[in-house]
Structure 1
Amino acid sequence: MFNDLIYTIHKEEHSDESLKKLLTAHPEIKFVSVVGIDLSGNDTDAKIPMRIFLDDINGFLKGAIQTDGSSVAFPGIATLNNAKVDMVPDTEVNWFVDYNFENFDEELGKPVGTLRIPCFLIHEEKAIDSRHILKSSISNIEENLMNFYRKYPELLDVYGIGIDDIEDIVATAATELEFWVKTPEEKAHVEELSTSQVLKEQYWTRTKGVVRTALEEALMLMDKYGLEAEMGHKEVGGVKATLGEDGNLTHIMEQLEIDWKYADALQAADNELFARILVKETFRRHGLDVSFLAKPVDGVAGSGEHTHLSIALKLKNGKRINLFAPTSKHFLSIYGYGSLMGVLKNYEIINPFVTATNDSFRRLKPGFEAPICIVTSIGHSVDIPSRNRTILVGVIRDIGSPLAYRFELRSPNPHTNTYLALATLFMACNDGITYAITKGKTEDDLLAELSKEAGVKADYLEQDRAYRSEHDVFEDYIEEERIRLFGKAPATVYENLVALDNYPEKLEVLKQGAVFTDRLIQSYRTAVERRWITEITGRIIPHYADEIRSYKMLHDSTKALDVDVTRWQKVNELRLYLMKDSYSIKSLFTRIRESVENHDHKTVSALQIEMDAKMAELRDLYGEYKRNLLDI
């Protein structure tokens, strides 16, 4: 099935002549789709017949395709009365061919393919899309570093090179995918899943049956596309499947992870987007549903998408120098320390671009290895790398391989807009590097500042905060200590977004070089707020209402014990408080809806926190009530 197909058209093959020759030789590639990424992370898709593309390749590549702004998320920019958005293909990255293995051309004996061409979205002659924002952030850090090398050529002495030896400055990145896979319509049994998780019955155990087949096929396809798969395995969540009468496994519910090789940052983000499509379609062909939700099941481990980044010098002789790697016996270089400090100091305005949905906040809770504190761990000693899984930013060090030095941001999830998340991270790195270089800081200076205790004044980091801990952040600190040392984490989308108002000086970091503009930031914020509100009123409250209606009185009043009656009374009182109005009292759900109608987002946020807490309490109460009944 996989042989004799073209999976990737590399950036070196994007000339008119090369494309015409290649695509003419592969008539199974019947369509072209231009892929732009809006501010919400949605990718555009269309089916344009290949003959149209082949008739005028040059015209197509110069932006002959347009889309309606109402079909993409750019509120306040691409409005109904000014909706034209031009789609300009990006010829500097690889293009993928997306094959439909359920639609074969019988004459050719091959599946029908669609060439997906990443593009930039242009409105009124200005790029407004997520891909372009990431590209601009990379250009910004490259330009700033080169300016520093011209001004301070001695910075390169430690590498034994001069500025003329540098061909390029490369920002690299890598992501990974965690996801849940299940039999369609299978319902989660939370207690069984939670017990299996605590016992670690699934973590890295052997995959079986159709899950194994789909996982192996996905890894093989990733290699075909040049993504260079590195590992696929079970994650912590899941339960044992059931063997059906036909010998096949049923009632499948497992959590998996797939990793692949790093790439230049923009290409890495494109790779991650296509990997999600590939994984979902591959498992679907085998009759399995895939969920990329951050927290598909409450009370059970969620799915993260740890994001790795580093910065390197590419020399004209082909050599690469990882700027994060130390040149002496230290944890990091000045660039590494500066970048790490930049991310930690500015994370309040990074977080709105990383954690932007109700679902993502359900994952960020203590006890599930999901980070909630702005803190890093770099290791107890230079000789022993840290693998502290309770912190926000991990420092990945391989003493024997300088190119492997990188940061791992642990807060993203599979629905994080990777383009914008990386863009904010590189902008923050640039801010920290600028501080380190312009203030003449040494590695010792930066390590001391990074390791300072709360209350100690510093030149860059905030006085009242601590930023490094080698402890278990969840076990070794009580909640009050965590908040005092590392700051209070936002609990809702609204609380996260107001950081854009509360930290104007930090927001300026994103605006350097006009990478982010006020207009783009406001458009992004509006899109996130709309989704937040729409999900609460259109999905969360109706879902909770159905759940509440399912909690019915199960005991026989003539046989029940007092404890059963009392427990049911507590359950029912909470049911009424959440969703039942009377002439004198409005339910919590009604108060949320009214706050939405009044555009009182602060109150909506506070009531959402209360609603989620009350629902968790209700589940516990009903479980306690139900467990005591003999006859149900």
Structure 2
Amino acid sequence: MADSKYLFKQPDLSWEDRLLYFIPPEGRTPEKIKDLLNNHPEIKFVSLVGIDLDGNDTDEKIPISVFFKEIEEFLNGGIQTDGSSVVLPGIVTINNAKVDLMADASVNWTVDYNYEHIDSKTGLPVGTLRIPSFLVHGGERVDSRSILVKAQENAKKQIKKYLSEYPSFARNIGIDPEDVVDIVLTAATELEFWVKTPGDKADIDQLTVSQVLQEQYWKRTKGNVRTSLEKSLILLERYGLNPEMGHKEVGGVTAQLGGEGRFSHVMEQIEIDWKYSYPLQAADNELLARIAIKEVFRQHGLEVTFMPKPIEGVAGNGEHTHVGIAVRMKDGSIKNLFTPINPEKDYLSPAGWGALMGLLKNYEVVGTFITCTNNAFNRLKPGFEAPVCIVASIGHSVNMPSRNRTVLVGLIRDKSNPLATRFEVRSPNPHTNTYLALAAIYQSMIDGIGYAAKSGKTSEELEKEFSKKPGEESDYLEKDRAYRSEEDVFEYYTPEERNKLFGTPPATVWEAVENLNKFPEKTEVLKHGNVFTQKLINSYTHAMLHRWVMELRDRIIPENIELVRSCIRLHDEEENSLDKERWNKINDLKLYLLKDTSNTKSLFSKIKTAISAKDYSTVSKLQLEMSSKINELKALYSEYKRNILHFETLSNQGSANRS
């Protein structure tokens, strides 16, 4: 008999309470799964969910009757596909396309409901059991989830080794290796997203003013936004995510109240957070949360976007990622590996300092798996609380924890709660492949923990090394770099100073991918324990570069062409010389961007030519120039337009003339 909490027929419950939302891994046998699903006839399909290297999740509809007949094969052998729908370039090829989907028995399985398709017999929405799975090709797991699994296993193995082989390291973090029964990795993400009325276009000026004045930040939600937010939190709770908070973020403008008391012209930014879990489950939870949130808001007539930078010029969507490591002792207690023996004296234990040093030292290659799309780089710019520099903040003093929102990594600590010590990595966004990002983060931290263990240094000694000035020698960190700042790095340093102190950050997908070749010793850190193999790295970089140039050629340039063409002359011949002067600058810039001649190519054409030649270094440089010129054009045209007295009439005339 199925567990009573999952039973379908309970007349005293609402229809929402009668649904099955997830199946935990404990005691999940084929017989119990069948019994449970038979008691929930509204669940009519099964979908094995694999995550490719681009972060895409597979979805298929397998009738539950087929699943029941072949349940042993589904759970142990997997099902086959031709691999045409997954991003695994260089691995899955047109002449070797067989890919198996193999169920993962270690995580929660969730039920995705179609609230627009009501089962006639039960009166409940039709559900699909989503089973997180691995992608297997040629007998090897080649998906994002499997990389994170290997990273988890490698981290646990290495930490146990360091605790047992380096007694002084164990003593300095207050742990007896003989009492350790397990290594506990934890992770959590904070999800930001923009929500708006479908079809509405952003008023950048209004959004910018509202952001500067912080008119929306943590304000009360209203109308269908409030309803959607509340229902999203309730739904995530039903899925077992234990949501902790939902609130307005910094971006947005006040919605308009219509005659029927309904709000329209919604344009707001929201954040939702939920409880941490171990890394693989945390990544699965984030995928589930994105799906659930988008569906709830859609049901209430609102459009959600998780794009890193959906609106140029205002705040983008971040997904700050929290990571920690603890140990479980024989007596059942949990001890945070990063918390120092004496929190009144030290910020971190030697293991904590090592993890932080490893993350920053190797971040050039870690970042390739966090930020590797055009839109993601649009978010990472000074002025929007988005991290650009490879630098961390640990607080102004041991006794006064602080938050610096301008750095890449922040130390989160609470002296009254030793288990709370962790790192907040601020660079990820909602489109980051969290599986690969967490794997890379843990690989880099383990490298640093290994240094701390082998060095035998105390917390005080490691803090001094981490806080070094540029030019000072270090046994682990790079001599000419700084790694700590408690200042607002965008206000305190010039761009040139930031690049000198913290390294020049990549600005394009090509620059991010090239870091894997530019820093081979750091790339080897990712490969340790066979976590990131060279085959998988090659496949990932090929996929990122392909998407980069396709998007640049077929989406960004066409959009920019339309923008250039939309900048039309608004003044007549009798207007003053200032309007003419400004228009001449605009027209010259338009010609440089768009117009080919018999002797010269426009900037857009140069980019397309470089793409065709696969001269990606040139493409990267020209892309940055294009971005700069487009921003210059926007600013010039805005200034020019503001000085036109009869803008509306002349604009309409211009439209008529063009037609």
Considering the TM-score relative to the shorter chain, is it more than 0.5?
yes
Counterpart of 1:628 in structure 2 is: 643
Taking the aligned partners of 2:172 and 2:479, their CA distance within structure 1 comes to 32
| Residue 527 of structure 1 pairs with residue 546 of structure 2 | no
Matched, 1:130 2:116: no
CA distance in 1, matches of 2:465, 2:177: 30
Q: How does 1:241-260 map to 2 (within 5 A)?
A: 241-260=255-274
Give the 3 Å change call, closer, same or farther, for CA 575–201 of structure 1 in structure 2: same
Q: Is 1:449 aligned to 2:449, yes or no?
A: no
Aligned length: 631
How do residues 143-292 of structure 1 correspond to structure 2 at under 5 angstroms?
Answer: 143-153=157-167, 155-157=169-171, 162-292=176-306
Once the two structures are superposed, the pairs formed by residues 53-72 of structure 1 within 5 Å of their partners are 53-72=67-86
TM-score by length of 2: 0.94
The equivalent position to 1:119 in structure 2, one of 121, 133, 146, is 133
SS of corresponding position for 2:77: coil
Secondary structure of 2:490's match?
coil
Residue 651 of structure 2 corresponds to which residue in structure 1?
A: none
Matched residue of 1:31: which SS?
strand
- Describe the superposition over 1:599-620 as per-residue Cα deviations: whole angstroms up to 9, x where unpaired: 0000000000000000000000
* Offset from partner CA, 1:270-328 (integer Å, 9 cap, x none): 00011000111111111111111111111101110000000111224321111011112
Deviations 1:114-151 (A, max 9, x none): 11100111111111111010010110010111122332
2:606 is matched with which residue? 591
- 1:466 aligned onto 2:482: yes
| 1:555 Cα deviation after fit | 1.9
* Conservation of the 8 A alpha-carbon contact between 2:173 and 2:337: no
Aligned to 2:123: 109
Report SS of the residue matched to 2:248.
strand
Out of 473, 485, 491, which is 1:475 matched to?
491
Deviates more, 1:245-254 or 1:305-314: 245-254
CA–CA separation in structure 1 for the residues paired with 2:28 and 2:549: 43
Q: Show the counterpart of 1:389.
A: 405
* Separation in 2, partners of 1:131, 1:561: 63
Q: Residue 122 of structure 1: SS of its match in structure 2?
A: strand
CA distance in 2, matches of 1:260, 1:471: 30
Go from structure 1 to structure 2 and tell me whether the alpha carbon gap of 1:133 and 1:452 turns closer, same or farther (over 3 Å shift): same
Aligned to 1:335, the other structure's residue is in SS state helix
Supply the distance in 1 between the matched residues of 2:251 and 2:466 (Cα, whole angstroms): 35
What letter matches 1:325 in structure 2?
T
Identify if the C-alpha distance between structure 1 residues 267 and 151 changes in structure 2 by more than 3 Å, giving closer, same or farther: same
Q: Is the 8 A contact 1:395 1:407 kept in 2?
A: yes
Q: Verify: 1:560 aligned to 2:575, yes or no.
A: yes
SS across alignment from 1:70 = coil
| Aligned position for 1:604 | 619
2: distance between equivalents of 1:384 and 1:569? 56
Tell me what 2:529 maps to: 513
Task: Indicate conservation of the 8 Å contact 1:13/1:19, yes or no.
Answer: no
In 2: Cα distance, 1:106 partner to 1:7 partner:
20
SS of the equivalent of 1:172 reads: strand
**In the alignment, is the contact (CA less than 8 A) between 1:338 and 1:435 conserved in 2?**
yes
Contact 1:364 1:370 in 2 (8 A): yes
Q: Does 1:359 align with 2:383?
A: no
Distance in 2 between residues matched to 1:84 and 1:327, nearest whole Å:
53
Tell me whether 1:296 sits opposite 2:310 in the alignment: yes
1:503 aligns with 519
* 1:73 corresponds to 2:87: yes
Give the alignment partner of residue 102 of structure 2, picking from 88, 91, 107.
88
Structure 1 pair 574–158 and aligned structure 2 pair: CA distance change class (3 A): closer
Asked if 2 retains the 8 angstrom alpha-carbon contact of 1:85 and 1:122, the reply is: yes
- What is the deviation of 1:164? 4.3
Of 98, 104, 113 in structure 1, the residue corresponding to residue 112 of structure 2 is: 98
User: SS of 2:486's equivalent?
Assistant: coil
Kindly tell me: are residues 33 and 578 of structure 1, through their superposed partners in 2, closer, same or farther at Cα, counting changes over 3 Å?
same
- Residues 1:433 and 2:449 aligned together: yes
Distance (whole Å) between structure 2 residues aligned to residue 208 and residue 13 of structure 1: 43
Which of residues 315, 321, 324 is equivalent to 1:307?
321
Q: Which moved more, 1:568-577 or 1:421-430?
A: 568-577
* Counterpart residue number, 2:64: 50
Please state how far the C-alpha of 1:630 moved relative to its aligned partner.
1.1
**Matches of 2:457 and 2:175, distance apart in 1:** 21
Distance across 1 between alignment mates of 2:533 and 2:585: 51
Q: What is the distance in 1 between the residues matched to 2:480 and 2:172?
A: 35
Deviation digits for residues 181-240 of structure 1, max 9, x if unmatched? 001111011111111111111111111111111011000100000101111111111111
Contact 2:172 2:349 in 1 (8 A): no
Task: Give the match's secondary structure for 2:524.
Answer: helix
Residues of 2 paired with 1:614 and 1:431: CA distance? 42
Q: 1:489 to 1:154 in 2, by over 3 A?
A: closer
**Kindly, what percent of the aligned residue pairs are identical?**
57
1:322 counterpart letter in structure 2: N
Is the alpha carbon distance of 1:289 and 1:563 closer, same or farther for their aligned partners in structure 2, counting shifts above 3 Å? same
Q: What 5-or-longer segments of structure 2 have no aligned partner?
A: 1-14, 648-659
Of the three residues 555, 567, 574, the one matched with 1:539 is: 555
Change (3 A) 1:429 1:245: same
Distance 2:536 2:69 in 1: 36
Q: Is the 8 A contact 2:340 2:348 kept in 1?
A: yes
Match of 2:418 in 1: 402
SS at match of 1:32: strand
Report the Cα distance in structure 1 between the residues aligned to 2:545 and 2:584, rounded to whole angstroms.
37
Counterpart of 1:407, as a letter, is F
Contact 2:173 2:340 in 1 (8 A): no
Shift of 1:155: 4.5
Name whichever of 26-35 and 308-317 sits farther off. 308-317
- Which sections of structure 1, spanning at least 5 residues, go unmatched? none
- Asked if the contact 2:169/2:456 (under 8 Å) is kept, the reply is no
Structure 1 distance, partners of 2:636, 2:381, is 21
Letter in 2 for 1:145: I
Q: CA deviation at 1:165?
A: 2.9
| C-alpha RMSD of matched pairs (Å) | 1.2
- For residue 419 of structure 1, the aligned residue among 435, 439, 450 is 435
Q: CA deviation digits over 1:404-461, x for unaligned, max 9?
A: 1100000011100000000001000110000000111111111011000000010000
Equivalent residue letter for 2:640: Y
What secondary structure, in the 3-state scheme, does the structure 2 residue paired with 1:259 have?
A: strand
Q: How does 1:312-323 map to 2 (within 5 A)?
A: 312-323=326-337
Amino acid at match of 1:563: L
Partner of 1:371: 387
With normalisation by structure 1, the TM-score equals 0.98
Cα distance, 1:158 vs structure 2: 6.2
